[in-house]
Amino acid sequence: MNPSTVETATVWAALASILDPEFALSIVDLGLIYRVQCADGQVQIVMTLTTPTCPSGAWIHRGVESAVRALAGVKDVKVELVFEPRWTPSRLTAQARHQLGLAE
């Protein structure tokens, strides 16, 4: 691997370390991350929030950018916040469903 690049799996792992302050669950387990693309040290992330008026939205957005920017090989980070498609509980991982008491 070129030391000036970063792997997509590394970015996903960094994102999984960011906890939503309201639910104390990873933003990955909540299904807030729609896409991660890495090319030549450039990282593009498409994400959402549970609602457009999420009170922690700015904090989560900054946390995503900071966590990824700190990774070795990252030259630039672009975090795009979208609300289409809208987030729904169907995006929760099985682990998140279990932690929230929604597991069947």
Asked if residue 103 is part of any domain, the answer here is no
Number of domains in the chain: 1
pLDDT at 91 over 90: yes
Asked if residue 93 is part of any domain, the answer here is yes
pLDDT digits (tens, 9 = 90+) for 6-43: 999 999 999 999 999 988 999 999 999 999 999 999 99
- The answer for 41, left when phi > 0, alpha when psi is -120 to 50, beta otherwise, is left
DSSP-derived 3-state class of residue 85? coil
Average pLDDT, the chain: 93
Tell me how far apart the alpha carbons of residues 85 and 62 are, in angstroms, rounded to a whole number: 21
What percentage of the chain reaches a pLDDT higher than 70?
95
Asked if residue 24 is part of any domain, the answer here is yes
Asked if residue 1 is part of any domain, the answer here is no
What CA–CA distances, in Å, run from 74 to 13, 86, 89? 14, 29, 31
Phi, psi of 8, deg, nearest 5:
-60, -40
Domain region containing 61 = 8-98
Asked if residue 67 is part of any domain, the answer here is yes
Tell me how far apart the alpha carbons of residues 32 and 6 are, in angstroms, rounded to a whole number: 21
What DSSP state is assigned to residue 76? E
Asked if residue 69 is part of any domain, the answer here is yes
Q: What is the CATH number of the domain that holds 54?
A: 3.30.300.130
